Amino acid sequence: MKLFYFLRHTSTSAFLLLYMFILGACSPFDNSYRNTDDNNGSNTSQPTQTPTPTPTVSSTYTPSPGPTATSSPGAIPPNKFYINGRITYDYVIAQDGVNEPGIKLNYSTKTARPVKRVVIQALEAGTVVEQTTTDDDGKFVLYVQNGKTVRVRVRAWLLSANYLADGIGQNNCNNSAWDVKIVDNTQSKGNYVMDSPNEFGTNYDNFNFHAPLSISGSTYTNRAAAPFAMLDTVVSEFELLCQGQANISFPALLINWSPNNAPVSGNKALGEIGTSHFTFENGAPQLYILGKENVDTDEFDDHVMAHELGHYIENTLYRADTPGGSHSLSQTLDPRLAFSEGFGNALSAMTFNDSFYVDTSGNAQVGGFSINTNNAPTGDGRGLYSEVSVQYFLWSLFKNKLASSNLNPFSRIHNILANFQKNTPAFTTLQSFAAYYNAQYGGAAENLQNLWSNDLDIPYASLCVGGCTGSQDTADPFDLNNDFGLRVCAGCASERSYPQGIGPKFSADFWSLFRTLVSGVNAATAHDQTNFGAYSYTRNKFGGIRWYRFVGTGLSHTLSVSGLGGGISCDNDVLDLYVYNKGNVVTKNDDSSGSQAGCPSVTFGTVANEIYLITINTYNATEVPSWTMTISP
């Protein structure tokens, strides 16, 4: 079985960004807290456990810290008393090293922010008897049956079956739904909570709970704010998405975070999560977020959080065809991977309207790197295979739309991702996205034509069937005429190197996204080769995976690979073959031994005029200089 990884690796010197996207099992780690609740004095209590193991975050409880506004109880229902109050948390800025000096978490910027849309519960003897949620100012009112004595629990849990905008904060989401929990993967995925130390049986005003962030030297003394900081990013990103559709139902999500989550791969139940990443577990979407202080923490690196949320959104609401795997900004990637990672960076910039992606790390969280998505790519970094090109292009569309109308700048991007790219017969790449965007809105929209042809130096004609006029064009998500390859090939007007900056030049066929196959023998061209580009991780690089397209006839066809160049035997495990339809695997042959290990063959039924995509993948250290592909009948 072959696994795919997205590895995010920080390099403070080279400012390289790699990500790890693990499709498979996960694990956690250990975490203990001291819960200090202060109510007209101080006392120390042990974390309260709910029936399911729920680690309790340490918290500071202040019944009434001055004139803090709280929700009015309004008309009190018969036979009930009320508890009202406000929940806040400490937020700190991750400095980008450009607009602020030095890359670090700046604890001197600590400010109290409202805890938005989280679940508030009244518990009697450990049983939930009433439940509500905070508004966008962190305020809430609980109505409890007379005669009951309850504690108040604040859960790090966004929950709504039909959210109605409250008119306080961002109000794009309306009639929307979500279920997002922050859990500790080292404590049986228990949900983080804060509990009141005292009980209530009569009306109570100004129950004001604050989740602090405290550090002494380089050691955290209280991190209760962390789960709520992450949820704040979730709210911001959901509100961005709701610019495109107000009533989105977001799939349930678990965000696994622990102070023990370290950049070590192994048992996630021990905190060995490798890196912050998105994954599926038993079909359910999950995030794992780093939390190891003085090593790498991401709970306050809000762009890192937003990036990983972007993978969740792309994989659940939109469509992601990415193969995953380790990568960096300067590499020539499989364009599916380039789009997914560039989208994550651009989405984080859009979420906060801030082009700087910051990832802090090191002692006292001083150090790390930043990326400015506003920087245009240069040289060989211009292309469909470059995540720099992707993030710049997407961010520029958003920025330009915001500048022109200041009204829902994400709406057009959402429309293309949700209604066009999601159903494309091509793969999900910058080519398909830009082709649909141009067809829907025109070349002048958000300066698209200039971004494409000048900043990315890709022919504008590549986006349209029969060439582009700038209005009412027909999208070409494949670049069928290979306009890009004819622009960047060896000896052409804007030749590119593979790999970027150091490699040789190649012919137009090598650079083509797809080669169209026909029934019969398809003799080898420059497209039909694997070239690792001197990369150590080859399976997701531009030359490591070759793409093809075949138009269905309504018949069943056999597709086979033969005639490996360089004297390579078909018994060598050098090539795998996959057939896709709209992003879904139709069939595959990834034999590791036997006569089809290097010369795979598959048979599949087709629907007339339906587009089928084929990839030839390589997984070991042997490059194959050529092969022949035959389709019969």
Domain edges within the chain: 35-372, 514-633
Give me the torsion for CA of 331, 336, 340, 346, rounded to 10°: 70
User: What number is the average pLDDT over the span 395-403?
Assistant: 97
pLDDT greater at residue 541 or residue 24: 541
Instruction: Give the pLDDT of residue 30.
Output: 25
User: What number is the average pLDDT over the span 375-383?
Assistant: 97
Instruction: Give the pLDDT of residue 73.
Output: 80
Instruction: Give the pLDDT of residue 70.
Output: 58
Instruction: Give the pLDDT of residue 57.
Output: 58
Q: Comparing 50-54, 201-205, 307-311, which segment has the lowest mean pLDDT?
A: 50-54
| Conformational region of residue 593, where left means phi above 0, alpha means psi within -120 to 50, and beta covers everything else | beta
User: What number is the average pLDDT over the span 322-351?
Assistant: 96
User: What number is the average pLDDT over the span 563-582?
Assistant: 96
Query: Looking at 48-138, which runs of residues are DSSP E strands?
Result: 60-62, 80-96, 103-114, 118-124, 127-133
Report yes or no: 609 and 595 within 8 Å, Cβ to Cβ: no
CA distances from 161 to 128, 212, 303, 493 (A): 18, 29, 27, 55
Work out the burial of residue 397: count CB atoms within 10 Å of its CB; fewer than 13 is exposed, 13-18 middle, 19 or more buried: buried
CA distances from 530 to 2, 87, 168, 330, 331 (A): 18, 56, 55, 20, 16
The mean predicted confidence, pLDDT, of the chain is: 90
Instruction: Give the pLDDT of residue 2.
Output: 26
pLDDT digits (tens, 9 = 90+) for 432-491: 999 999 999 999 999 999 999 999 999 999 999 999 999 999 999 999 999 999 999 999
Residue 186 has pLDDT above 70, yes or no: yes
Instruction: Give the pLDDT of residue 619.
Output: 75
Domain 514-633 sits in CATH 1.20.58.100:
no
CA 36/CA 41 separation, integer angstroms = 11
pLDDT digits (tens, 9 = 90+) for 121-180: 999 999 999 999 999 999 999 999 999 999 999 999 999 999 999 999 899 999 999 999
Tell me, what DSSP letter sits at residue 66?
S
> Could you tell me the pLDDT band of residue 96, with boundaries at 50, 70 and 90?
very high
Report yes or no: 545 and 385 within 8 Å, Cβ to Cβ: no
Residue 66 has pLDDT above 80, yes or no: no
| 507, HSE (Cβ side, Cα atoms, 13 Å) | 6
Instruction: Give the pLDDT of residue 72.
Output: 73
CA 302/CA 254 separation, integer angstroms = 17
Report yes or no: 389 and 377 within 8 Å, Cβ to Cβ: yes
User: 551 has which bridge partners?
Assistant: 611
Instruction: Give the pLDDT of residue 38.
Output: 29
Query: Three-class SS of residue 563?
Result: coil
Whether residue 251 has a cis bond before it, omega within 30° of 0: no
pLDDT digits (tens, 9 = 90+) for 504-555: 999 999 999 999 999 999 999 999 999 999 898 999 999 999 999 999 999 9
N- to C-terminal Cα distance for the chain? 31
User: What number is the average pLDDT over the span 368-394?
Assistant: 98
User: What number is the average pLDDT over the span 85-110?
Assistant: 97
Q: How many residues does the chain have?
A: 633
Share of the chain above pLDDT 90, in %: 86
pLDDT digits (tens, 9 = 90+) for 356-371: 999 999 999 999 999 9
Model-wide pTM > 0.75: yes
Q: Comparing 65-79, 365-379, 619-633, which segment has the lowest mean pLDDT?
A: 65-79
Write a three-state SS string for 568-579. Answer: CCCCCCCCEEEE
Q: What are phi and psi of 339, to 5 degrees?
A: -65, -45
> Could you tell me the pLDDT band of residue 56, with boundaries at 50, 70 and 90?
low
